[in-house]
Structure 1
Amino acid sequence: MEQKHFEVIIVGGSYSGLSAAMSLGRSLRQVLVIDSGLPCNRQTPHSHNFITQDGEVPAVISAKAKLQVDFYKTVQFFNGIAIEANKTKEGFEIKTDSEEVFTAKKVLFATGVKDLLPEIKGLAECWGISVLHCPYCHGYEVKTEKTAIIANGEMAFEYAKLISNWTKDLRLLTNGKSTITWEQKEILQKHQIEIIEEEIESLEHENGNIKQVIFKNKSNAAVKAIYFRPPFEQHCPLPSALGCELTEQGLIKVDMMQKTTIPGVYASGDCVIQARSVAMAVSSGSFAGASVNKELIDEVFNI
């Protein structure tokens, strides 16, 4: 790639990054999108709860989005991984894994998060297929099915209440001794939500479609879907390396304009949003792109 300097570099070219790129491309900005081509939902067969794209394959949505963004000739794409970010007098410098170096006035991170899955055999293979994180994204497709939740404590109680809206055939797997209160336990039992405290050994599945949960005591529970919210970390270490603050939840801290705590650095998508979904990522990316453009305009007017 001959061009090395841009007005904006977007690190991450999935839904949020592409949405930001469209806002900036339509604002006539010189933009570079650096992306590895490995979105976090690449294993998910269908995306839901995104109007006009409900039920579409995630890769199809991404491909169509990239094609539409590519129409704006001031936006360029680079296939690679950003491995280093530095502040310069003029803005920022981004180095990739192929040792390419690009510079820009502003940087937008749309890099998502990395789910830290437990070492339960079969869980990773089912993740995004039959082990789900969001009922709004996937709950309708498994409504009324035999369903389990892997969780414990206060989160388990709130999660069980939420999922019970989609199915009444529900059991809570605490994967060890329960830490929910007696009052919460009584409420769950009143609503016929079984609590199983056995430790989980594995998930028996076929091509990611779960058949049953196998416990370490060799008992089992037949289910068709499991809800699970794993801990996570930032997928990209560069925002922290630049000094961007994180929230208590581990998300990049941004203000109402998607600005991080480092001037000139913005963030959008799953790396800043607690409620992860394609629709939310697109929304925050679109707004972030407009916010970056506004700051560039204000700088021209010395505001």
Structure 2
Amino acid sequence: MNTANNFDVIIIGGSYAGLSAAMALGRSLRNVLIIDSGLPCNRQTPHSHNFITQDGETPAAIANKALTQVLNYSTVKLQRGFAANGKKTETGFIIETLEGLEFTAKKLIFATGITDMMPDIKGFDQCWGISVIHCPYCHGYEFRNQKTAIMANGERAIHLASLVHNLSNQLTVITAGKAEFTTEQRYKLQFHNIPVIEKKIQEVMHENGRLTSIVFEDMETIKLDALYAAVPFKQHSEIPAMLGCELTEMGHIKTDPFQKTNIAGVFACGDNSSMMRSVSYAVATGSIAGAMVNKELVDELF
């Protein structure tokens, strides 16, 4: 193995969490490699919000500025590509990219994010992150006082409805099947004049990702400006599973408060390890992961 391919730390994923971890490590003079495929999960989102100093900026602008700053640290390198395989060795880890390159490191940080699994609804994926949204804190203010629906059922629908109702009283819950609410939950929806539609959505009508209406399977149409949707996800990278990283019941990589997984030397941060999907949270957990990895390296040598 070429010694130029040996690093203290490999960070898989070069978006907000990964870059934040890289900065913490670069400032501690650690030799770091970031492997990034260039496909962040929020690439369709027009603007980032709820992150002080960057409110309203495009996600790409934030990431590009961060990358420029991180690469100013001479010990941090970037490799464009997709990390496809990984295995543990006696001294650390080997990571192989889809392009056939191999790199070794003492420690690993997964900042790989998740992949949202889009439902079979025409137009849904074209609107995802633009007007079909997941988080009131990230997007809700921009759709305040507008015609809004929530595509969810049970407790998840009630949780979202409680948050979104504060932003718009033009609110409808779409359960896409038989509604699963307790008597108390039904009373809450009725008390706040939130109708429930049990029909499935067939198509999301839009103009360049901006929702205009939705069409149900019986061809009924209602006008909408925004649709909140709780969609399932999977881990974007299969390498944590290859290494034996434990997942939570929801499917996130399980970490301790310092972003450490159950596998020695392996850390995870950002969307892959928390339901708190925001740029600010990804940056925070990345910074913690970078600091804790540096501490492990220090403790092993000092």
Taking the TM superposition and a 5 Å limit, the aligned residue runs for 1:192-231 are 192-231=193-232
For residues 155 and 283 of structure 2, the distance between their equivalents in structure 1, rounded to whole angstroms, comes to 30
For residues 230 and 300 of structure 2, the distance between their equivalents in structure 1, rounded to whole angstroms, comes to 42
Residue 189 of structure 1, CA deviation? 1.2
Matched, 1:265 2:255: no
Q: Between 178-187 and 87-96, report the one with greater CA deviation.
A: 178-187
| 2:286 match | 285
Deviations 1:138-176 (A, max 9, x none): 111110000000001121122111211111110001112
Taking the TM superposition and a 5 Å limit, the aligned residue runs for 1:152-301 are 152-301=153-302
| 1:88 match | 89
For residues 138 and 155 of structure 1, the distance between their equivalents in structure 2, rounded to whole angstroms, comes to 18
Residue 188 of structure 1, CA deviation? 0.4
Residue 280 of structure 1, CA deviation? 0.3
Taking the TM superposition and a 5 Å limit, the aligned residue runs for 1:22-41 are 22-41=23-42
Residue 85 of structure 1, CA deviation? 0.4
For residues 169 and 7 of structure 2, the distance between their equivalents in structure 1, rounded to whole angstroms, comes to 54
SS at match of 1:78: strand
2:227 alignment partner AA:
I
Residue 229 of structure 1, CA deviation? 1.6
For residues 256 and 181 of structure 1, the distance between their equivalents in structure 2, rounded to whole angstroms, comes to 34
For residues 268 and 229 of structure 2, the distance between their equivalents in structure 1, rounded to whole angstroms, comes to 26
1:20 alignment partner AA:
A
Deviations 1:178-198 (A, max 9, x none): 111233112101101111111
Deviations 1:16-47 (A, max 9, x none): 00000000000000000000011000000000
Taking the TM superposition and a 5 Å limit, the aligned residue runs for 1:52-91 are 52-91=53-92
For residues 32 and 190 of structure 1, the distance between their equivalents in structure 2, rounded to whole angstroms, comes to 55
For residues 258 and 163 of structure 1, the distance between their equivalents in structure 2, rounded to whole angstroms, comes to 31
| 1:7 match | 8
1:150 alignment partner AA:
M
**Is residue 147–residue 226 contact of structure 1 (8 Å, CA) maintained in 2?**
yes
Deviations 1:30-79 (A, max 9, x none): 00000001100000000000100000010000100000001000000000
For residues 59 and 158 of structure 1, the distance between their equivalents in structure 2, rounded to whole angstroms, comes to 30
| 1:103 match | 104
2:33 alignment partner AA:
L
In structure 1, runs of 5+ residues without a counterpart are: none
Deviations 1:208-238 (A, max 9, x none): 0000010011111111001112111111010
SS at match of 1:167: coil
SS at match of 2:177: coil
For residues 158 and 62 of structure 1, the distance between their equivalents in structure 2, rounded to whole angstroms, comes to 31
| 2:150 match | 149
| 2:121 match | 120
Deviations 1:235-271 (A, max 9, x none): 1010011000001110001112111000000100000
Output the TM-score relative to the length of structure 2.
0.98
For residues 187 and 258 of structure 1, the distance between their equivalents in structure 2, rounded to whole angstroms, comes to 38
Q: Between 161-170 and 55-64, report the one with greater CA deviation.
A: 161-170
For residues 216 and 201 of structure 1, the distance between their equivalents in structure 2, rounded to whole angstroms, comes to 5
Output the TM-score relative to the length of structure 1.
0.98
For residues 72 and 116 of structure 2, the distance between their equivalents in structure 1, rounded to whole angstroms, comes to 33
For residues 166 and 282 of structure 2, the distance between their equivalents in structure 1, rounded to whole angstroms, comes to 25
Residue 2 of structure 1, CA deviation? 7.6
Q: Between 178-187 and 3-12, report the one with greater CA deviation.
A: 178-187
Deviations 1:107-158 (A, max 9, x none): 0000001111110111100000000111111111110000000001121122
1:192 alignment partner AA:
N
* CA RMSD in angstroms, aligned pairs only: 1.0
SS at match of 2:4: coil
For residues 222 and 179 of structure 2, the distance between their equivalents in structure 1, rounded to whole angstroms, comes to 17
For residues 222 and 82 of structure 2, the distance between their equivalents in structure 1, rounded to whole angstroms, comes to 41
Q: Between 175-184 and 230-239, report the one with greater CA deviation.
A: 175-184
1:17 alignment partner AA:
G
1:106 alignment partner AA:
K
* Identity %, equivalent residues: 56
Matched, 1:44 2:39: no
**Runs ≥4 in structure 1, deviation > 6 angstroms?**
none
